Structure 1
């Protein structure tokens, strides 16, 4: 998280506060998009005792590496060149940090949110339980914060390519913590030779006996390379006045999809915005936000929605309103193998 958002709190404490707090009474679409991108992190921290987070119908940005269907399969050694990472101009969602090594039995996903520090890459086991999450940080999580989930010590470890590496500890060199969902988790803090701080979260580590070895090997493979994030829908005939917002979301976790992109309706930074959401049908409720309207339909296993601030902007009315924009969206379904970086066509 950025220091100006939470200047005196640890990341864990700040996220607990976010999870427990009520939403503002009036929200614009861009704010809804940003809140959705925080939802995965809030869910994870809330599971540590911070309360129940109310999730929007979107989630943290996650997509797949190009070149191998829906993702890079396990056992991949570090890429020899940047040709493994492709940026598609038809896709507004680009991630900047990657794991060059993917442990056997895992698939690499990733994403990016330019408004805040967020997960850049997630790796999931084929079962969808064991996970590694890479998060660029402006500074490491503070040691010695209050609360049962706040780390109290640094447990040093050697990771090639870093100047500092340690597990977050909770007394007597204990690095494993309950994830609040019947599993266990651990967090690895790294300072790369470039000076960049990175945190790698290991979730449901009990699923894999070699979790520590694989997490450290993946941590040693980090590269700063751009690549496009495949999305579970296409949008046809986007008007020139609709400017895609940078960033976006596409998550497939435990068999469920959550995704979104946003548009600014005009060149002005203060122009109104609209959002397109998609999630596995039946998996989420439409978020009830005062001042924001949702128009939705079920298609190909996904529920696709257009969100728009009330009153409806004139630029949106010109294309048939929210329903007209929704008619331009084609659902690609719940299987990431069918997703695309050719989002706008």
Structure 2
């Protein structure tokens, strides 16, 4: 997209003739909101914002306009207290996704700045990826494919895998994504248990046995799915002690947040052979350093936060958060 040509004049919404209410021609009556889009979002969401506000697009320099920015749409960029302090007109932050660990919420609350998320919009895509990773761990098609490409169609490892119905599955976090994973597992005939102290009994899936604690899930789970938010309570929840609570030869799938798992502990559990494999779409530092020990542990599948990266999820997430931000700004 074309960048801002004049730093003193951010990208303006186009308006028909006669001008609509809230357009730049009517700023003496109703100031037009200025929304900063920090990272790429779906084009339909950009057009929704452009139609009713001025916008600063990803890659454009927002610094000259800090005094006028009234809204932010953010994905993973840090929105910290220092930045918030430089935005005196800020009224709303819209998180393109669910996790808000990149946003200083106390700093927003101190100025009564609204924070909205797109909870649930990417659930189906993240759940699809979680099941994909679970099947890769259970059947190892990537190992067979790599061997075939090297000219050794029969890898020098035992390729006997598992059906998901053979592996007791556990889900930590039964929010929208966790429940979407549970629906998919039911289709595979899997035995599933879960833990989430916040979900009311009325919303708990019939196909999932409710456990009273994290430890109760771990002790009989061979395929563990993580779908928790990253909070002080969940940071490094899966340490070496807890990983060793899982049965020998278990698998772990993390499509939540990197900090929930102690990466050094996970590498050790894989190197020791206690875990048979792990797949993670998230890391404590993204992207991870190439020399991160976890990346060199046996049977680790690492991705680059692709869970919500589908056409449908990006459109749903983008248009939902655009709607929430515009509504908060009253346009």
TM-score by length of 2: 0.25
With a CA cutoff of 8 Å and minimum separation of 6, indicate the structure with the bigger relative contact order: 1
Report which of the two structures shows the higher radius of gyration computed on alpha carbons: 2
Looking at secondary structure, tell me which structure has more strand per residue.
1
